Amino acid sequence: MNLSSIVFPLTAGLDTAVPRHAGRLLHAAFLHWLQHHQPELAARLHDKNYTRPYALSDLHGHFTHDGPWRKIRQGQTVWFRLTTLEETFGELVAQAAARQPGPQLDDRTLTPGPACLTPAQHHHAGTTTFAALAAEVQAATEAGQLPESVTLRFDSATCFMENDHALPLPVPRYVFGYLLNKWQLASPFALPVEEVQHFVDSIHLAYSRLETQMVDLKKYRRVGFTGVARFALHPAMPNIYRQSLHLLAKFAYFSGVGSHTTMGMGQAWQLADG
Protein backbone atom coordinates (compact mmCIF):
# COMPACT_ATOMS: atom_id res chain seq x y z
CA MET A 1 0.00 0.00 0.00
CA ASN A 2 1.48 3.32 -1.08
CA LEU A 3 1.63 6.53 0.93
CA SER A 4 2.22 9.58 -1.22
CA SER A 5 3.11 13.24 -0.87
CA ILE A 6 2.35 15.47 -3.86
CA VAL A 7 3.52 19.08 -3.97
CA PHE A 8 1.52 21.68 -5.92
CA PRO A 9 3.41 24.91 -6.78
CA LEU A 10 1.78 28.28 -7.47
CA THR A 11 3.62 31.22 -9.05
CA ALA A 12 2.53 34.84 -8.63
CA GLY A 13 2.07 36.70 -11.93
CA LEU A 14 1.65 39.95 -9.97
CA ASP A 15 2.14 41.05 -6.39
CA THR A 16 -0.69 39.55 -4.35
CA ALA A 17 -1.64 38.43 -0.86
CA VAL A 18 -3.27 35.39 0.73
CA PRO A 19 -4.83 34.97 4.18
CA ARG A 20 -2.47 34.02 6.99
CA HIS A 21 -4.24 30.65 7.09
CA ALA A 22 -5.19 29.59 3.56
CA GLY A 23 -5.91 25.90 4.21
CA ARG A 24 -9.67 26.31 3.77
CA LEU A 25 -9.20 28.00 0.39
CA LEU A 26 -6.72 25.36 -0.74
CA HIS A 27 -9.12 22.60 0.26
CA ALA A 28 -11.94 24.16 -1.76
CA ALA A 29 -9.61 24.56 -4.75
CA PHE A 30 -8.47 20.94 -4.47
CA LEU A 31 -12.04 19.61 -4.38
CA HIS A 32 -12.96 21.73 -7.42
CA TRP A 33 -9.87 20.47 -9.28
CA LEU A 34 -10.68 16.87 -8.34
CA GLN A 35 -14.30 17.28 -9.45
CA HIS A 36 -13.09 18.43 -12.87
CA HIS A 37 -10.36 15.83 -13.42
CA GLN A 38 -11.50 12.84 -11.33
CA PRO A 39 -15.28 13.27 -10.84
CA GLU A 40 -15.89 9.71 -9.62
CA LEU A 41 -13.18 10.13 -7.00
CA ALA A 42 -14.63 13.48 -5.94
CA ALA A 43 -18.08 11.90 -5.59
CA ARG A 44 -16.71 9.40 -3.07
CA LEU A 45 -15.63 12.25 -0.82
CA HIS A 46 -19.26 13.32 -0.40
CA ASP A 47 -20.16 9.96 1.16
CA LYS A 48 -20.50 10.61 4.90
CA ASN A 49 -19.32 7.06 5.63
CA TYR A 50 -16.13 7.52 3.61
CA THR A 51 -13.16 8.66 5.68
CA ARG A 52 -11.19 11.17 3.65
CA PRO A 53 -7.85 9.48 2.92
CA TYR A 54 -5.71 12.59 2.66
CA ALA A 55 -4.29 15.59 4.46
CA LEU A 56 -3.61 19.01 2.98
CA SER A 57 -1.04 21.55 4.11
CA ASP A 58 -1.25 25.33 4.17
CA LEU A 59 0.78 27.44 1.73
CA HIS A 60 4.55 27.42 2.18
CA GLY A 61 7.08 29.90 0.86
CA HIS A 62 8.68 33.24 1.67
CA PHE A 63 6.02 35.71 2.70
CA THR A 64 5.90 39.27 3.99
CA HIS A 65 3.35 39.34 6.80
CA ASP A 66 0.86 42.19 6.91
CA GLY A 67 -1.73 41.68 9.64
CA PRO A 68 -4.04 38.82 8.63
CA TRP A 69 -2.41 38.64 5.19
CA ARG A 70 0.75 37.15 3.69
CA LYS A 71 2.16 39.07 0.73
CA ILE A 72 3.63 37.26 -2.26
CA ARG A 73 5.88 39.09 -4.70
CA GLN A 74 5.55 38.87 -8.47
CA GLY A 75 7.50 35.89 -9.81
CA GLN A 76 7.65 34.18 -6.44
CA THR A 77 6.59 30.53 -6.16
CA VAL A 78 4.75 29.15 -3.15
CA TRP A 79 3.50 25.61 -2.65
CA PHE A 80 1.30 23.27 -0.68
CA ARG A 81 1.31 19.51 -0.35
CA LEU A 82 -1.28 16.76 -0.43
CA THR A 83 -0.58 13.51 1.37
CA THR A 84 -2.63 10.40 0.69
CA LEU A 85 -3.25 7.28 2.79
CA GLU A 86 -5.14 5.16 0.28
CA GLU A 87 -3.25 3.70 -2.65
CA THR A 88 -6.00 3.97 -5.28
CA PHE A 89 -6.87 7.52 -4.23
CA GLY A 90 -3.21 8.55 -4.33
CA GLU A 91 -2.60 6.96 -7.72
CA LEU A 92 -5.63 8.61 -9.32
CA VAL A 93 -4.68 12.03 -7.93
CA ALA A 94 -1.09 11.53 -9.12
CA GLN A 95 -2.31 10.58 -12.61
CA ALA A 96 -4.41 13.74 -12.80
CA ALA A 97 -1.54 15.83 -11.45
CA ALA A 98 0.84 14.42 -14.07
CA ARG A 99 -1.49 15.44 -16.92
CA GLN A 100 -2.32 19.04 -16.06
CA PRO A 101 -1.49 21.86 -13.62
CA GLY A 102 -2.67 21.63 -10.04
CA PRO A 103 -5.57 23.31 -8.24
CA GLN A 104 -6.35 26.95 -9.06
CA LEU A 105 -7.19 29.35 -6.25
CA ASP A 106 -9.79 32.08 -6.76
CA ASP A 107 -6.83 34.48 -6.87
CA ARG A 108 -5.99 34.16 -10.57
CA THR A 109 -2.69 35.96 -10.15
CA LEU A 110 -1.40 32.69 -8.65
CA THR A 111 -0.78 30.30 -11.53
CA PRO A 112 -0.52 26.57 -10.78
CA GLY A 113 2.47 24.79 -12.26
CA PRO A 114 3.28 21.12 -12.82
CA ALA A 115 2.91 19.03 -9.67
CA CYS A 116 6.01 17.59 -8.02
CA LEU A 117 5.73 13.83 -7.52
CA THR A 118 9.29 12.76 -6.66
CA PRO A 119 12.01 13.88 -4.21
CA ALA A 120 14.09 15.02 -7.20
CA GLN A 121 11.38 17.56 -8.00
CA HIS A 122 10.74 18.71 -4.42
CA HIS A 123 12.07 17.63 -1.04
CA HIS A 124 8.52 17.15 0.28
CA ALA A 125 7.34 14.99 -2.65
CA GLY A 126 7.54 11.22 -2.97
CA THR A 127 6.00 7.88 -2.12
CA THR A 128 6.65 5.09 0.35
CA THR A 129 4.77 2.13 1.76
CA PHE A 130 3.65 0.96 5.18
CA ALA A 131 6.06 -1.97 4.76
CA ALA A 132 8.94 0.41 4.04
CA LEU A 133 8.22 2.38 7.22
CA ALA A 134 8.23 -0.86 9.20
CA ALA A 135 11.49 -1.95 7.54
CA GLU A 136 13.17 1.33 8.53
CA VAL A 137 12.17 0.85 12.15
CA GLN A 138 13.23 -2.80 12.12
CA ALA A 139 16.63 -1.95 10.63
CA ALA A 140 17.24 0.72 13.28
CA THR A 141 16.23 -1.78 15.98
CA GLU A 142 18.61 -4.46 14.72
CA ALA A 143 21.43 -1.91 14.51
CA GLY A 144 20.75 -0.78 18.07
CA GLN A 145 20.01 2.73 16.81
CA LEU A 146 16.32 3.13 17.64
CA PRO A 147 16.03 6.10 20.03
CA GLU A 148 14.17 5.79 23.31
CA SER A 149 11.85 8.66 22.35
CA VAL A 150 10.33 10.34 19.30
CA THR A 151 10.21 14.06 18.60
CA LEU A 152 7.42 15.48 16.47
CA ARG A 153 7.45 18.85 14.78
CA PHE A 154 3.91 20.28 14.67
CA ASP A 155 4.34 22.60 11.71
CA SER A 156 0.80 23.96 11.55
CA ALA A 157 -1.82 24.66 14.19
CA THR A 158 -2.93 21.38 15.77
CA CYS A 159 -5.86 20.70 18.06
CA PHE A 160 -8.16 17.92 19.20
CA MET A 161 -11.89 18.23 19.68
CA GLU A 162 -13.05 17.44 23.21
CA ASN A 163 -16.67 18.06 24.22
CA ASP A 164 -17.10 20.39 21.21
CA HIS A 165 -14.11 22.47 22.28
CA ALA A 166 -10.66 22.67 20.71
CA LEU A 167 -7.86 21.34 22.92
CA PRO A 168 -4.56 22.93 21.76
CA LEU A 169 -2.20 20.59 23.63
CA PRO A 170 -0.10 17.56 22.53
CA VAL A 171 -1.77 15.14 24.94
CA PRO A 172 -0.06 11.79 24.19
CA ARG A 173 -3.23 9.69 24.21
CA TYR A 174 -4.81 12.11 21.71
CA VAL A 175 -1.76 12.41 19.44
CA PHE A 176 -1.05 8.69 19.27
CA GLY A 177 -4.66 7.64 19.59
CA TYR A 178 -5.33 9.64 16.43
CA LEU A 179 -2.33 8.14 14.63
CA LEU A 180 -3.27 4.64 15.75
CA ASN A 181 -6.81 5.05 14.44
CA LYS A 182 -5.57 6.32 11.07
CA TRP A 183 -3.04 3.47 10.89
CA GLN A 184 -5.71 0.87 11.59
CA LEU A 185 -7.96 2.33 8.88
CA ALA A 186 -5.27 2.60 6.20
CA SER A 187 -2.53 0.04 6.83
CA PRO A 188 -2.66 -3.50 5.39
CA PHE A 189 -1.17 -4.80 8.65
CA ALA A 190 -1.72 -3.99 12.31
CA LEU A 191 0.81 -2.53 14.70
CA PRO A 192 2.87 -5.28 16.36
CA VAL A 193 1.25 -4.78 19.78
CA GLU A 194 -1.58 -6.84 21.24
CA GLU A 195 -2.82 -4.37 23.87
CA VAL A 196 -3.05 -1.24 21.74
CA GLN A 197 -4.87 0.81 24.38
CA HIS A 198 -2.22 -0.05 26.98
CA PHE A 199 0.44 0.96 24.46
CA VAL A 200 -1.17 4.36 23.84
CA ASP A 201 -1.75 4.95 27.56
CA SER A 202 1.93 4.17 28.25
CA ILE A 203 3.21 7.09 26.16
CA HIS A 204 4.12 10.24 28.07
CA LEU A 205 5.14 13.77 27.10
CA ALA A 206 8.83 14.24 27.91
CA TYR A 207 9.40 17.75 26.53
CA SER A 208 7.60 20.45 24.59
CA ARG A 209 8.23 23.92 23.20
CA LEU A 210 4.94 25.25 21.92
CA GLU A 211 3.01 28.30 20.81
CA THR A 212 -0.69 28.70 20.13
CA GLN A 213 -2.44 30.46 17.27
CA MET A 214 -5.96 31.07 16.07
CA VAL A 215 -7.06 29.62 12.72
CA ASP A 216 -10.06 31.14 10.95
CA LEU A 217 -12.02 28.42 9.11
CA LYS A 218 -14.83 30.86 8.21
CA LYS A 219 -17.64 28.90 9.88
CA TYR A 220 -15.67 28.77 13.12
CA ARG A 221 -12.29 29.47 14.60
CA ARG A 222 -9.92 26.98 16.14
CA VAL A 223 -7.01 27.54 18.52
CA GLY A 224 -4.14 25.16 17.80
CA PHE A 225 -0.57 24.63 18.92
CA THR A 226 2.64 24.57 16.89
CA GLY A 227 6.16 23.64 17.91
CA VAL A 228 8.10 20.61 19.06
CA ALA A 229 7.11 17.82 21.43
CA ARG A 230 9.04 14.74 22.52
CA PHE A 231 7.23 11.57 23.53
CA ALA A 232 8.65 8.58 25.36
CA LEU A 233 7.83 5.29 27.02
CA HIS A 234 8.94 3.94 30.37
CA PRO A 235 12.13 1.85 29.89
CA ALA A 236 10.33 -1.18 31.32
CA MET A 237 7.86 -1.23 28.43
CA PRO A 238 8.35 -3.99 25.81
CA ASN A 239 10.67 -3.15 22.93
CA ILE A 240 7.79 -3.70 20.52
CA TYR A 241 6.13 -0.65 22.07
CA ARG A 242 9.11 1.51 21.16
CA GLN A 243 9.02 0.19 17.59
CA SER A 244 5.32 1.00 17.35
CA LEU A 245 5.95 4.49 18.73
CA HIS A 246 8.43 5.14 15.93
CA LEU A 247 6.14 3.65 13.29
CA LEU A 248 3.33 6.02 14.22
CA ALA A 249 5.73 8.97 14.40
CA LYS A 250 6.91 8.28 10.84
CA PHE A 251 3.32 7.81 9.69
CA ALA A 252 2.37 11.29 10.99
CA TYR A 253 4.10 12.85 7.96
CA PHE A 254 1.33 11.44 5.76
CA SER A 255 -1.69 11.32 8.07
CA GLY A 256 -1.38 14.63 9.87
CA VAL A 257 -2.56 14.85 13.48
CA GLY A 258 -5.80 16.04 15.04
CA SER A 259 -8.71 18.07 13.71
CA HIS A 260 -9.16 19.68 10.26
CA THR A 261 -6.15 18.00 8.65
CA THR A 262 -7.76 18.49 5.21
CA MET A 263 -7.68 22.27 5.73
CA GLY A 264 -4.04 22.85 6.59
CA MET A 265 -4.14 22.05 10.29
CA GLY A 266 -2.26 19.25 12.03
CA GLN A 267 0.80 19.04 9.77
CA ALA A 268 3.40 17.06 11.72
CA TRP A 269 6.48 14.94 11.16
CA GLN A 270 9.22 13.19 13.09
CA LEU A 271 12.48 15.03 13.61
CA ALA A 272 15.67 13.11 12.96
CA ASP A 273 17.02 13.56 16.47
CA GLY A 274 13.89 11.95 17.95
Q: Which of 92, 110, 100 is nearest to 17 (CA)?
A: 110
What is d(CA 190, CA 194) in angstroms, rounded to the nearest whole number? 9
For the segment 31-72, what is each residue's pLDDT rounded down to a tens digit?
Answer: 999 999 888 888 888 777 778 899 999 999 999 888 889 999
Q: Are residues 102 and 206 in the same domain?
A: no
Domain containing residue 49: CATH number: 3.30.70.1890
Under 8 Å between Cβ of 22 and 56: no
Question: Are residues 141 and 256 both part of a single domain?
Answer: yes
pTM listed for this prediction: 0.94
Kindly state whether residues 108 and 69 are assigned to the same domain. yes
Name the average pLDDT for the chain.
Answer: 93
SS (H, E, C) the chain: CEEEEEEEEEEECCCEEEECCCHHHHHHHHHHHHHHHCHHHHHHCCCCCCCCCEEECCCECCCEEECCEEEECCCCEEEEEEEECCHHHHHHHHHHHHHCCCCCCCCCCEEECCCECCCCCCCCCEEEEHHHHHHHHHHHHHCCCCCCEEEEEEEEEECEEECCEEECCCCHHHHHHHHHHHHHHHCCCCCCCCCHHHHHHCEEEEEEEEEEEEEECCCCEEEEEEEEEEEEECCCCCHHHHHHHHHHHHHHHHHCCCCCHHHCCCCEEECCCC
pLDDT of residue 274: 45
159-189 pLDDT, tens digit each = 999 888 889 999 999 999 999 999 999 999 9
> Quick one: 49 and 142 in the same domain?
no
Which span out of 64-73, 75-84, 211-220 was modeled with the highest average pLDDT? 75-84
Q: Domain check: are 21 and 109 in the same one?
A: yes
CATH code of 194's domain: 3.30.70.1900
Judge if 173 and 80 occupy the same domain.
no
Q: Is the pLDDT of residue 117 over 90?
A: yes
Q: Does residue 165 sit in the same domain as residue 69? A: no
Confidence of residue 1 (pLDDT cuts 50, 70, 90): low
| Count of domains for the chain | 2
Q: Which domain holds residue 28?
A: 2-124
Same domain, residue pair 139 and 230: yes
Residue positions counted in the chain: 274
- The Cα 51–Cα 74 span in angstroms is 38
97 lies in the same domain as 178: no
Q: Are residues 133 and 79 in the same domain?
A: no
Q: Which tens digits make up the pLDDT trace of 143-167?
A: 999 999 999 999 999 999 988 888 9
| Whether residue 254 sits in one domain with residue 137 | yes
